Amino acid sequence: MVFSSVTFLYYFLPAFLLCYFGARGVRLRNLVLLVFSLVFYAWGGLANVAVLAVSIVANFIFAQIIDAQPDRTRLRALGWAVAANLAGLIGFKYLGFFAENLNVALSPLGLAVPVIHPKLPLGISFFTFHAISYLVDVYRRRVKANGRLEEIAVYITMFPQLVAGPIVRYSTITRRIHDRRTTLGRVSAGLRIFIIGLSWKVLIADEVAPVVAAVFDQTASPNLAEAWLGIVAYALQIYFDFGGYSNMAIGLALAMGLKFPRNFNLPYGALSIGDFWRRWHMSLSSWFRDYVYIPLGGNRRGHLNTAINLWTVFLLCGLWHGASWNFVIWGVHHGSFLVLERTRFGALLQKVPRVAAHAYTLLVVLTGWVWFRADSLPQALAFFRGLAGLNGIGELSVALSSELRMATIVVMIIGWPLAMFGLPRPGGRRLPERVRRALYGLVDTTVTAVLFILCVLSVGAAAYSPFLYFRF
């Protein structure tokens, strides 16, 4: 089920809100949230629910065991628990990839191992990381192991963030799972954030998606104009698609009395790759920082170890996104520039004009998206040849020209300033504070209402369009 679908907007969400706010008491509301979350997840297949249920029960038990251990054996218990979670993730997501690459190494010997590609449970990367963060926080004594299975189930299965994040740490949300309240102001603010996220997905990401598909999926060797148009469109698509989902999840959580972490902060306005990763998928980058980079030693053991730690983290970050060499290269691509920025180049970057630093950052990010979006290494290399003009400058293909409607062009023109600088606020600083607030509230309410109407009309007329991060 997709947030931007008729099923969710017209049926599931109204039914959930009615039952949730009709329930009295946090425990009953947790039960409503759990039931609807399981229905939401089961929409993608009942087998998904079985995997999720095993993860919930297993990690509930693991946490109890870790919490009961003395200091000398806690780390060992944590290691076994984390290994079990990673074994499930590796088995479903990477088994076939590893087998294929092993067969390449074994082919000179005439040997081969079976290649199995199990069906990937929806959102397994996200709920596995949620579970690991819970176990590590119990090990570090930041929280006690929760003795109520239903509360752990609510934490892992909350449908707003279940399949595509943001990654919510148990230690930051534990209090509100069993003690929270909702107010009209929170509900209003949450629904506003939800509508903004919905408009990002429906009115921007879905509008530029056909341009991306025409370049990446229908053009074998794009020329200069096609390649740059395609990668600029994809940069907008992935930001407003994933950023839109994150806003919808954050908004729904706020309406329920929960608080999810912010996941994006104008990433295309960054002035370095380090700055970009402080703004892009912030819950994932902070997860890797706290649970991988710092335990490896961070930047405390010299420049060489810092570089190795950064490359390790971004190699894992690339693999986390998918079992493909393209994702591995994408991770190494970003890790390499982060290492470069730890040298004198980083100091120089801080001294150059902002426009130069911004241009450098966008160039690195855009070329990185080629690896992320291309289906194979040969396609990525052909795309890079197009970006360099080696496939010719030429005219746009028929497929691409047919997708460049006036609305699409307008969205692309508006999208970039929005991604870099955010929404403008109304002026009037000379006006009294009360008048200025009323003016801002009126503009905000009007824009939100118009966006919601446009989204409803678009969703009713459009075809099914899954979120890009659902496959992770």
Tell me the catalytic residues. Answer: 321
* Longest CA span, the chain: 81
Enumerate helices (H) and strands (E) in the chain, giving the number of each.
23, 0
Cβ-Cβ contacts under 8 Å for 60 (sequence gap 6 or more)? 146, 149, 152
Residue 355, token pair as written in the block: 């426009």
CA distance 228 to 388: 9
DSSP run (H or E) holding 99: helix 95-106
**Of 89, 383, 18, which Cα lies nearest the Cα of 222?**
383
Fill in the amino acid letter for 101: N
CA distance 406 to 97: 42
CA distance 43 to 1: 6
Crossing angle, helix 149-157 and helix 170-178, to 10 degrees? Answer: 120
Fill in the amino acid letter for 224: L
Crossing angle, helix 377-387 and helix 224-255, to 10 degrees? Answer: 110
CA distance 44 to 371: 28
| Count of C-beta atoms within a 10 Å radius of residue 102 | 14
371 close to 350: Cβ distance less than 8 angstroms: no
DSSP three-state, residue 105: helix
Residue 258, token pair as written in the block: 């929960």
